[in-house]
Amino acid sequence: MEIFFGVLTILVLLLVFSIFHILREYERAVVFFLGRFQTIKGPGLIIVVPFIQQMVRVDLRIRVFDVPSQDVISRDNVSVKVNAVIYFRVIDPQKAIINVENFFEATSQLAQTTLRSILGQHELDEMLSSRDRLNEGIQKLLDEQAETWGIKVSNVEIKHIDLNESMIRAIAKQAEAERERRAKVIHAAGELEASEKLLQAATVLAKQPQALQLRYLQTLTEIAGESNSTIVFPMPIDILDVFRVGKKKEVD
């Protein structure tokens, strides 16, 4: 009899302790009463009556899911491998438990299919140069679809876009050709600007013959200073006429 009462006492104590549960600040309990949803409890100390009520714990912290590499064919028919990371959390524990069997697995599968779907609508250049815009588009679509599960997708980041060797070489050639094109454009623009300046200088010199002759003499001086050898340079006959005219005007 004493053994019976001892066992009974232990069972009662276990039953009493199983009634009380402690939930952390980031946890919530979805409570069912005889199989039907009753309420959401927590955090802190809660009471759940065994056999009549059942409790499912839900973590409300942000979860990080690393999307495995996905084979994506871009709109311009380039095959690439893309992986990403997704940040999401539960904002409605009731929907996360009742509306979907495993919300983490469902969100991960949805992320993979959405990643392939969104990136397949863009060309390779857009994938490489417009990641922020693509991240925003993927995040928005995931958030809309996961809302019925009580999930909030807060951020999506594309980590790597892997290309095969032939495509890497093609992109390198394209970049080199683009640099050469820009260099030629800059050189042509410089030639055009220089020709315009020379034309302006020629116009000024044509109006002032004395300036042209002085420039001629300055050029001779520069040549003589840069070389130690003797240079025979023809002297234009009309170079002295300018000074004669100028002297004649002074006499008059």
Tokens of 28: 């919530």
Confidence class for position 194, pLDDT limits 50, 70, 90: confident
- pLDDT given at position 78: 84
- pLDDT given at position 248: 47
* Peptide bond before residue 43 is cis, with ω within 30 degrees of 0: yes
Half-sphere exposure of 178 (CA within 13 A, CB side): 6
Phi then psi for residue 124, to 5 deg, are -60, -40
pLDDT at 191 over 70: yes
Confidence class for position 202, pLDDT limits 50, 70, 90: confident
pLDDT at 72 over 50: yes
Q: Does domain 63-163 have CATH number 3.30.479.30?
A: yes
* Nearest in space to 116 (alpha carbons), one of 61, 79, 88: 79
Confidence class for position 128, pLDDT limits 50, 70, 90: confident
Tokens of 56: 């499912």
Q: In this structure, what DSSP letter does residue 234 have?
A: P
Which of 2-11, 92-101, 223-232, 237-246 has the weakest average pLDDT? Answer: 237-246
Domain extent listing, the chain: 2-59, 63-163, 166-207, 209-252
Residues 73/119, Cβ–Cβ less than 8 Å: no
Distance of CA 188 to the CA centre of its chain: 34
